[in-house]
Copies of this chain bind each other. A is one copy, B any other.
């Protein structure tokens, strides 16, 4: 399977996204850890997207996608379906750009996620997940009200926006021998891999997934799209059912490998980041560190890790600190 676009055109979209988000998204810091470097024998660089606005890389894609809407589209508003960081990103960008935002969430979504999304200014619309799907609800509402759909990952503006995380990292560090990126729907992973191809052609970009939600790893290794339903992982940002129509071919073409990590490794990684590095990182954001600490990946030379987000609720953090 080949992607339709040429690489140069793809890379140009990431560069254009970088210009678009400049001054709006944070240029997040890159941190190093003597302990991690000593443990692995490689030089480890952590790109701290937990310090991004609203606490995760998702701001990049949402800002890129929404800032380039036409005035007419902006005036009608946007809609998305997500109960996670993408919802909050769309809500915050909507507030910044004066765009009305609607977020479709299942009726049984945690109250805390609904409240956080509403706090950023979005209107949340619930639906019964036993009766219909989030895609259908949002498409129906989009059709009826003229909202523009801003999907969580399967959209070239989203992919390009997320890729700016890696672009910034390469701008700062020049070369890397490998880059570990968490993978849910594959937006961040494919965007970063596109950026790496131009910025550091010898850099191996490796996607990391929980073992219990390994649809993307299976899809990558087989070349056939696998799906998973409500996987039982603590890494809630990776509970997406599958890679997308856009992200799957990109992952196949640009990503060097996919690795999986156990739930225990994820928990140990969040604890390591908390106790040793004083960083609050959500379970999905700690996948790269989990792969290192568990020995699933043994990097050489200079290795980058994207810490994709830091939005962890108190109950989850308490469970992790207890285990």
Contact = CB atoms under 8 A, between A and B. Distances in A.
A277 to B, nearest CB: 8
Give the interface residue-count category, chain A.
Answer: 20 to 34
A260 to B, nearest CB: 25
- Counted per complex, copies of this chain come to 2
Interface string A287-315: 00000000000000000000000100010
A59 interface: no
B310 A321 contact: no
A55 interface: yes
Nearest to A50: B278
A321 B312 CA distance: 12
A317 B310 contact: no
A246 interface: no
Contacts of A179: none
Contacts of A31: 29, 51
Contacts of A51: 31, 277-278
Nearest to A320: B314
A203 B53 CA distance: 30
Nearest to A29: B29
A281 interface: yes
Contacts of A321: 314, 317-318
A34 B23 CA distance: 13
Interface in A266-297: 274-275, 277-281
Contact of A279 (B278, B314, B317, B318): B278
Contact of A280 (B34, B280, B314): B280
Interface string A11-41: 0000000000000000001010010000000
Nearest to A51: B278
Interface string A52-91: 0101000000000000000000000000000000000000
A322 interface: yes
A256 B309 CA distance: 39
Q: Ordered nearest first, which 6 A-B pairs have the shortest CB separation? A: A278-B310, A314-B321, A278-B280, A50-B278, A318-B318, A274-B280
Given A50-B278, A314-B321, 17 more contacts: A29-B31, A34-B53, A274-B280, A275-B280, A275-B314, A278-B279, A278-B280, A278-B281, A278-B310, A279-B279, A280-B280, A314-B322, A317-B317, A317-B321, A318-B318, A318-B321, A318-B322
